[in-house]
Amino acid sequence: MRRIFVDKIKSKIVLDGDDAHHIGYALRARVGDSVTVADASGDVATMRVSSFTRDTVTLELVARDDGAAHTESPIIITLAMCLPKSDKMDMIVQKATELGVTQIQPLESENCVVKYDEKKRKAKREKWQKIAEEAAKQCARTKIPRVNEIMLFSDFIKRVRSESSTNVALCYESEKTLTIKDWLREKSPNDGERYTVIVGAEGGFTSSEAAEAEAIGIASVTLGPRILRCETAAIAAVSIVQYEKGDL
């Protein structure tokens, strides 16, 4: 069923802008067609298209969902991804959204080749947020993952480590002993349900970055004996967390 996101579910909703275009043109909906609507609080409802104008689509409430349509992961996952080259981040955001992450934190690390000025940072973040929204619609999420503003690696690890309820791991290609699977299996419910995986760009992390993370208590984990491309590593890390602790 077609799905859109709104601020608040009401008995009647008038859509305009991109949402109206999406329903009326991209999805070619007609009067009487049903639409699944999810709002900022995670509530879900079935609504029916009642009328169109050139620029708007009006929906009327049919029934609020009883919980069956809620598709969010039982755990909270942050993918902290160092900026890769080209348009790889577009695909990473899309696939991470499909896998159920709660938020995506773009990072600048020592091995990042791309460097953005303030204007480019804003444009990139808006683009990635839009990709997350479209992916959330496609895979029937009830919430859209948040794409945060780009941060420096050092600033981010200090901030996330201060959040005592978050389990944090650095996916480090030079780690040979602790696998991400074993790290996750060491975690008990008392450790909380928030997980952050930090993935490097091309070239991974420098030894100094790994040492900085280790010094503040962030575990370095391996994703296996083979060197993965950064986009593969991101998808693999999130998938493993979801398999071990989530709903895959």
Paired residues of 184 in beta bridges: none
Place of tokens 């990139």: 124
Residue 172 has what pLDDT?
Answer: 97
DSSP alpha helix (H) spans, 25-179? 88-99, 118-138, 153-161
Residues linked to residue 49 through DSSP beta bridges, in sequence order: 59
For residue 176, the model assigns a pLDDT of: 92
pLDDT at 69: 61
Question: Are the C-beta atoms of 234 and 79 separated by less than 8 Å?
Answer: yes
Which bin fits 88, alpha (ψ -120 to 50), beta or left (φ > 0)?
Answer: alpha
Q: Phi and psi at residue 47, in whole multiples of 5°?
A: -130, 160
* Segments in the chain below pLDDT 70: 1, 66-69
Question: Which pLDDT score is estimated for 90?
Answer: 98
Pairing state between β 146-147 and 103-108: parallel
Check if the beta carbon of residue 195 is closer than 8 Å to that of residue 76. yes
Q: What pLDDT does residue 209 have?
A: 98
Residue 194 CB-density burial (10 A; 0-12 exposed, 13-18 middle, 19+ buried): middle
- The pLDDT, as a whole number, for residue 105 is 98
CA distance 156 to 136: 25
Confidence at residue 162, expressed as pLDDT on a 0 to 100 scale: 87
